[in-house]
Structure 1
């Protein structure tokens, strides 16, 4: 018979990077979590090896930005090579991206998981229960959600206000809510080889994609003496040393350790639904991305950042339940776009072995010689969010739905990253001195109003607002621009669309409270 425990705010199933990051982000907003994980320790073998500057900003928000910097290695970008390893195209990535970090960083996933778990252990709002098997989620009701699990001592059940399924491609949570896979038509078997060696490996400090239909491959340097190769499987098996010979010195008798050699099926899939009531899917439970642009883990961490601030607002600050609907409506189109980019890169690499494959490669090679094309393709892999209740986009290329840049700013004689100044809630950034209506609206949201002049950021934010032709922006807690005040106007473009979703129970002075209620009431008419 199961032992029933008291209700907890949030149960997270899976203590991989997505699940633990979600727990840390919720903890910063005062939401307690219990994380259930079947493994007793961090999975010891390397899996994900690349991340981008947006996700490094998320790790900063989770409180592990500095620790991650110590294990990360900036990368130059991506090169496409032909079958003879001649460079067809080079997509450079900057060491100073929009989010304040290198646009591409290499890392060892077990090291990332260890520092995330260390942060989890230090946080009293988080509890990790490892070595347990989750056996059930649901049923789907309007009230708390039941989660059952067992360990060596027996069976238990928890009741949660919300459940986050971060339990991977074979997700029990996905089955529990009745979600099914949509196949995006890419499936290939590859072998992945991680090597540690002191050899002088030929490397440009970036990622190489070999566009050879007979032996497509990916190569990258992960650490000081760590390298990864990925090869599409053929009918015949070749020894590892033969496969990696084109990158190695002609004769090498030094250290050479195969850390891991395994086979994966790379797939492109997306779940048809990511939510049922208060049960949500995140990461590989919701989508599978081929690894060719290094966005698999990145997509899962973006899920966590998008959902956690909304969930915290609903659970603790009077946010409307409809706010949670925007998780899937925002993240699913974004993820589909990224998966299609990865599939396109996969087809550029492999392209099949028919007569059209050679033509496709010639077209690719010719396209890569067009001035400016590779530079444009090498920009952010993360598109802006589509228009919706929390993205009030009036212009196709406006700031709404994009991320605010993160320059270094000055505070009390110290240089800090912008997000350390902004805090964890909403923020109004304005190019001019705040006016009364702007201050009232900001106060109703629990937001800070910050003029961008005098921040010591070398004018980065002022130039960004000017380029967007706005006098002020409203930033969500995930640093996405929700709404703007166009240049020359004095109010946001569409307050009525989002005000009702974000109403708050925070206490204020009576006169202020009356003014704020009046403002929000008029905005939602």
Structure 2
């Protein structure tokens, strides 16, 4: 492994991509402006696809202790009467984790940073401010930084720089990228309270569908509760600083609560926007997370989008650094992630509009239509589904009219054997799934390419998945995206050999 990667920003996206790169032995330097984890809560939700990434990073078990699965979604009208409810009944989804999970972002960030101690190739440096990033030569990037503690100024070089430095990204400005506005700009009040008392509410997400005061409520932890209210044009967060002012909007949820058992954690206004950078890369400099995209909160995918960026780019960059993969695979990062991010942003906008727009007419229609939604076959499953769209066709997503609908999707982390799942065998590596028995020559070819082989059995879910798609074999990428589905093992190995150089890839535990 040659070269060093500098990650600018140690939020969840930055630490995740650093950890994933380290799993391949890449030398990584993480630079963070602040001395400590930002203590205020922000993101509170992630789905089972992102939970799976936490498993690859190595903190899934710890995350289970600081998070809580949510039961589903309840729509209520302006009088807090339930007009529709979509309830989850399964404990885990197709990836082996709960499909919707609530947590405090500071708790997650503490976990992720602590886990860096298990990554000897990662150096973490906090309380330093990156002041400039520039492409120095064809194969080197220069980073200027200022140590906020000592005052020292330093210049570093790296093979690649990853900008994970948030919505006001210096790295984005450095490469001349600009946000494209996708037409959403709303001011909302976010309220986090610590309540040492049971409120007796249904333990799922509550969406107040009222154009007079659209709101979302959810219980994040044992004591912490989150509300989000859309602000009127003449309102500001200062109008709701006192307990009495908060009671004026939160009162219906707090009827059973005593004021002396309520602590205000945060009251802040945010402008929710829908934006995506026009480009995510300049040669050896990349953008990830909020530096590349901003998502309205209605489907809880803001943090998840950055984690998906990390999962998509890390194995490609590690492969290029190790000469296992051609440099051209890095072109697929923006090709794959940008359309996916735009789709999720537009979905969030649509969900927000359906729940809150339309004035009083919209409120009436929701009261009339929502109670009947449960009668629509399959709708509840669709509303609660955490499955995101498949990726667009690229050099690493070989879709064709004969490949079926699975190519470009995230392969389920299905059980393999009695106590293991797909990720226990293949996480971080290419995998060949097949209903066929490999010949000695085919198996040797797979080993030479560093491809894990899993011969499925008739009762396996993955066997059923292959046969249902009328295919015998599939090539799964290191990020578990289905790259190719084919009729024969030879077709899969041929496709793999066109991308992977014949050196075995072994992820460092």
Normalised TM-score (structure 2):
0.91
- 2:25 is matched with 30
Equivalent runs, 1:411-426 vs 2, <5 Å = 415-426=419-430
Question: Is the partner of 2:54 in helix, strand or coil?
Answer: helix
1:262 equivalenced with 2:258 (yes/no): no
CA distance in 2, matches of 1:460, 1:371: 24
Question: Any idea what the Cα deviations from partners look like across 1:96-150, whole Å, max 9, x if unmatched?
Answer: 1111100001111111111111111332111111000101111364221111101
- 1:282 is matched with 288
Range 466-475 or range 296-305, more displaced: 466-475
Equivalent runs, 1:183-198 vs 2, <5 Å = 183-198=181-196
Question: Any idea what the Cα deviations from partners look like across 1:411-453, whole Å, max 9, x if unmatched?
Answer: 7xxx234312224211111222123564244224201112123
How many residue pairs end up in the alignment? Answer: 492
Equivalent runs, 1:381-460 vs 2, <5 Å = 381-395=387-401, 397-410=404-417, 415-436=419-440, 438-453=442-457, 459-460=460-461
Question: Any idea what the Cα deviations from partners look like across 1:280-324, whole Å, max 9, x if unmatched?
Answer: 100000000011111000000000000000000000133111100
- 2:357 is matched with 351
> 4+ runs of 1 displaced by more than 6 Å?
none
- 1:208 is matched with 206
**Aligned in 2, Cα 1:101/1:251: closer, same or farther, shift over 3 Å?**
closer
CA distance in 1, matches of 2:465, 2:70: 26
1:494 CA displacement: 9.6
CA distance in 1, matches of 2:272, 2:117: 33
Question: Is the partner of 2:61 in helix, strand or coil?
Answer: helix
Counterpart selection for 1:164 from 143, 162, 165:
162
- 1:118 is matched with 114
| Preserved CA contact (<8 Å) 1:17 1:301 | yes
- 1:230 is matched with 228
CA distance in 2, matches of 1:499, 1:241: 64
Question: Any idea what the Cα deviations from partners look like across 1:217-260, whole Å, max 9, x if unmatched?
Answer: 01001111111001011234351122211112356355111111
1:484 equivalenced with 2:485 (yes/no): yes
| Preserved CA contact (<8 Å) 2:180 2:278 | yes
* Contiguous gaps of at least 5 residues in structure 1: 1-6, 508-525
Range 444-453 or range 308-317, more displaced: 444-453
CA distance in 1, matches of 2:375, 2:276: 34
- 2:63 is matched with 68
| Preserved CA contact (<8 Å) 2:28 2:121 | yes
- 2:38 is matched with 43
Question: Is the partner of 1:139 in helix, strand or coil?
Answer: strand
1:360 CA displacement: 7.2
1:502 CA displacement: 2.6
| Preserved CA contact (<8 Å) 1:410 1:416 | yes
| Preserved CA contact (<8 Å) 1:392 1:493 | no
1:357 CA displacement: 7.0
Range 186-195 or range 365-374, more displaced: 365-374
Normalised TM-score (structure 1):
0.88
Question: Is the partner of 1:58 in helix, strand or coil?
Answer: helix
Question: Any idea what the Cα deviations from partners look like across 1:319-341, whole Å, max 9, x if unmatched?
Answer: 11110001111111111111111
1:361 CA displacement: 7.1
Question: Is the partner of 2:43 in helix, strand or coil?
Answer: coil
1:77 equivalenced with 2:83 (yes/no): no
| Preserved CA contact (<8 Å) 2:474 2:492 | no
Range 198-207 or range 327-336, more displaced: 198-207
CA distance in 2, matches of 1:191, 1:147: 37
| Preserved CA contact (<8 Å) 1:319 1:504 | no
**Aligned in 2, Cα 1:490/1:423: closer, same or farther, shift over 3 Å?**
closer
CA distance in 2, matches of 1:362, 1:178: 49
**Aligned in 2, Cα 1:88/1:393: closer, same or farther, shift over 3 Å?**
farther
1:137 equivalenced with 2:133 (yes/no): yes
1:66 CA displacement: 1.0
| Preserved CA contact (<8 Å) 2:447 2:504 | no
Question: Any idea what the Cα deviations from partners look like across 1:382-416, whole Å, max 9, x if unmatched?
Answer: 111122211112248522112222234447xxx23
1:174 CA displacement: 0.5
Range 123-132 or range 306-315, more displaced: 123-132
Structure showing greater relative contact order (alpha-carbon pairs closer than 8 Å, 6 or more residues apart):
2
**Aligned in 2, Cα 1:275/1:410: closer, same or farther, shift over 3 Å?**
same
CA distance in 2, matches of 1:501, 1:491: 15
CA distance in 1, matches of 2:167, 2:79: 35
- 2:100 is matched with 104
- 1:305 is matched with 311
